[in-house]
Structures are given as structure tokens and as C-alpha cells.
Amino acid sequence: MPNITFVLPDENQVTVVANDGDSLMQTAVDNGIEQITADCGGCCSCATCHCYVTEAWKDKVDAPDEMETALIESAIENAQENSRLSCQIFITSELDGLVVEIPESDW
Ligand code: FES
């Protein structure tokens, strides 16, 4: 099962074992990453699961669809080119070693 590392806003890192098929958001929530509040439960309507995919991984994660891109642009003040909604990234074995950064709360 893939290992995923979350870099928290205080720069502490938490590495967890993820389940194939789970979303990155669910992986964070299941492992007590409190900064990912995921208010909408993963239906791509709240943006409270925002993260940054680190440079080394941005080409290995599937690109965001139109709905995700629109929500990032409209709801996240500190959005960057590597901003993603973690509920829209699904774990596969290819993502073993993925590192994502969790920003300070956008809310
Ligand atoms: S959990 Fe609401 S947009 Fe991802």
C-alpha cells in the first residue's frame, strides 16, 4: 500500500499508509490530519481539502478536471499552480511516496 507524506503548516511531516482507491482527503482525515476539514465530504464543493502537490509529484498526479479547477480559482485565496483539492486525488500504487503540503487554513 502506498506511503503518503503530508507536510503540515508548521513543517512537521506525517507519513501514513494509504489504501488504494481512497481519496487523498480520506487518507488525511482517517489519519488525523486536522487541517483537512473536508466540510463537503468529498463532493468538490467546499475547498477545505486544499493541498499543494510538491514539484516532484505534480506530473504524476492526474490533472484536475474543470469543476475542481473552477472551485480552486473561486474559493482559494492563496491558490498556486500546484494547488489541488485532495478529495479529487485518488490513491494508486503509482503514488507511493507522494508528498503534499497542507497550507495554513484558507478559512
Ligand atoms: S472535501 Fe470539499 S472540496 Fe474536497
**Average of per-residue pLDDT values in the chain:** 96
pLDDT digits (tens, 9 = 90+) for 12-28: 999 999 999 999 999 99
What average pLDDT does range 101-107 have in this prediction? 80
Q: What is the pLDDT of residues 28-68, one digit of tens each?
A: 999 999 999 999 999 999 999 999 999 999 999 999 999 99
Domains and CATH numbers, the chain: 3-101 (3.10.20.30)
CA–CA distance, 50 with 96 (Å, rounded to integer): 20
The rounded percent of the chain whose pLDDT value lies above 70 is 98
**Which segments of 1-107 are extended strands (E)?**
3-7, 13-17, 50-53, 83-85, 98-101
Q: For ligand 1, what atom is nearest to the CA of residue 38?
A: 1
Pocket of ligand 1 (CB under 6 A): 25, 38-40, 42, 44-49, 85, 87
50-53 β-sheet, strand order = 13-17, 3-7, 98-101, 50-53, 83-85
* Ligand 1 closest atom vs CA 36: 1
